[in-house]
Structure 1
Amino acid sequence: MGGWRDMSAEALEDQYSPSRWSPRLDRDTIIDAHLAVTAAGTERARASAQTSLHVPYGKGDREKLDIYFPTDHSGSHMDTMVLQVRRSLAFLVEQYPEIRGIYLCGHSAGAHLAAMVLFTDWTEFHVVPDIKVPLPSGAVLVSGVYDLEPILHTYVNDALNMSREVAQRNSPMRHVAPAVPAACEVLVVVAQHDSPEFRRQSQEYSQALRAAGWSVSLLDLAGVDHFDVIEKLSENSYILTQVILNMISRA
């Protein structure tokens, strides 16, 4: 059975170019449409919630996060990005010790970063989460990449400039650890019209987590592509919206 190593460079480029797989729009317009939809969704979210935007958690220009409070008011480059996400969560725990849980939801590259958070030694950040409130409390990984090595051979790495060592060090698939008793629930989501490589990675990563004892579910969503799989979260009737709200409500 062949794998990504048997693909031509052109075929591998296609596999890691989500815009080439949507049946809705052509690849020249779907990214612009996606950016427009997500930007509008962000504006709606900011208008309907109490927020604290662009909160610095480090000294870098990009080390800022947007905090969305519940309405009831209760209670190398890749290495750097992973560190920044981990530091942002440590900041939240220290800044808001009364919170009941932190839930991660990442899409595409964001799903990769969220997956890296699952295997963090929080003592390095001087954070020791309560055993009843694991960090994170839940994770939703949408259309992500969990093994970065294939990307080394695509245009995606032109900007990242990862070496094989960096790619391996930052591949969640290579760092799956046995689940501890307080390990969070993980939902791995993949779209019907994601590329076969994206679908393979989601399936294999969820299998690896399950084999290591994690509470993990794989949600394969029909009728959506790499982009509207996340765009539809603004719809209350969307199955993924309902699943995420249910995950949080069980806390």
Structure 2
Amino acid sequence: MHWTEMDRDELERQLSPSRWSHRMSADDVVKAHVNALKEGTERARALAQTLLNVPYGEGDGEKLDVYIPRTDSLDVPLVIYIHGGYWQFLSKEESGFMAVPLVDKGVVVVAVGYDIAPKGNMDLMVSQVRRSVVSVVQQYSHISGLYLCGHSAGAHLAAMVLSTDWSQYSIAPQIKGAFLVSGLYDLLPIQSTYINEPLKMTEEVAIRNSPRTLVPQLKLSSSGFHVVVAVAENDSQEFRKQSQEYYKALEASGLNVTMEDVPNTDHFNIIEQLVDGDYHLTKLLLKMMGRS
């Protein structure tokens, strides 16, 4: 069923990932998710050398956390992780967890902070993540490859980074790959739900910030560039549909894109398990970076 045919209650149910987990109740799955991310990030901070709260702009929220492998090599891949939380929860403080298996393989992980709603609006958040990528490229000129990873609202923001017209910036980052996990790529359905209350998006803002409609202007060099669109088996139909439609749009535009439908996962543990080097998506990410 298309979202325009759903009543508000059904649409809100479709857009509430915590109500779709088979593992535990909605409240418990969110609590467990935050705890898992925090624990993973604490482990990453113990394992890696860290540079915390590195500014990428003037704003208080415009800061990065960098997790650096103990390696002498100057030729290191770098992954920028953009956290989820429906553009209104979570922060970079719980977003270093994927560094646990990656720093061992000589990969730098950067967790991006941005101003969540109600302080930040959608246009600002998109601008912030774009500027964070430019700043990372300027600060780490010796990286062998730049990759993006985002979860949920973070996958939306990562997709918006891919849709950037870099001619308006001082530098055009050469992004080699993107890992978009359980994301939303069309914001129009959100506009009429409770999720939009702190965001206050107008229809115009929702359209302007929907990666699905921006695919035709993707200016990515297709050589060697790879996008993975991943979705959980137990994501809602709306989340699964949005991932499939975005994947198909990328494929139709001639990009090298893979769809990963991850079995036995829900919206939360699909990303939590990136703390584990043996997890399917971790292996896929390492393979994309030539580090498997």
Superposed CA offset, 1:44-85 (max 9, x none): 111111121111111111100111223324328101001100
Select the residue among 178, 181, 184 that pairs with 1:145: 184
In the superposition, the TM-score normalised over structure 1's length comes to: 0.93
Q: Secondary structure at the match of 1:218?
A: strand
Matching residue of 2:157: 113
State the percentage of identical aligned residues.
53
Unaligned runs of 5+ in 2: 75-119
Matching residue of 1:63: 62
Would the alpha carbon gap of residues 73 and 6 (structure 1) be closer, same or farther in structure 2, given more than 3 Å must change? Answer: farther
Matching residue of 2:199: 160
Would the alpha carbon gap of residues 22 and 181 (structure 1) be closer, same or farther in structure 2, given more than 3 Å must change? Answer: closer
CA contact (8 A) 1:86 1:117 kept: yes
Matches within 5 A, 1:29-108: 29-75=28-74, 77-108=121-152
CA contact (8 A) 1:108 1:145 kept: yes
CA contact (8 A) 1:146 1:171 kept: yes
Cα distance in 1 for residues equivalent to 2:15 and 2:189 = 9
Superposed CA offset, 1:94-140 (max 9, x none): 111111122111000000000001111223111034xxxx2x22100
Matching residue of 2:235: 194
Cα distance in 2 for residues equivalent to 1:241 and 1:181 = 23
CA contact (8 A) 2:14 2:236 kept: yes
Stretch of structure 1 that moved more, 62-71 or 196-205: 62-71
In the superposition, the TM-score normalised over structure 2's length comes to: 0.81
Matching residue of 1:170: 209
Q: Secondary structure at the match of 2:24?
A: coil
Aligned Cα RMSD in Å? Answer: 1.6
CA contact (8 A) 2:134 2:172 kept: no
Q: Secondary structure at the match of 1:51?
A: strand
- Number of aligned residues: 245
Q: Secondary structure at the match of 1:47?
A: helix
Cα distance in 2 for residues equivalent to 1:236 and 1:113 = 25
Question: Aligned partner of 2:233: which letter?
Answer: Q
The answer to whether the aligner puts 1:233 opposite 2:232 as a matched pair is no
Q: Secondary structure at the match of 2:259?
A: strand
Question: Aligned partner of 1:86: which letter?
Answer: R
Question: Aligned partner of 1:30: which letter?
Answer: V
CA contact (8 A) 1:103 1:139 kept: yes
Matching residue of 1:204: 245
Cα distance in 2 for residues equivalent to 1:245 and 1:56 = 27
Dislocated runs of 4+, deviation >6 Å: none
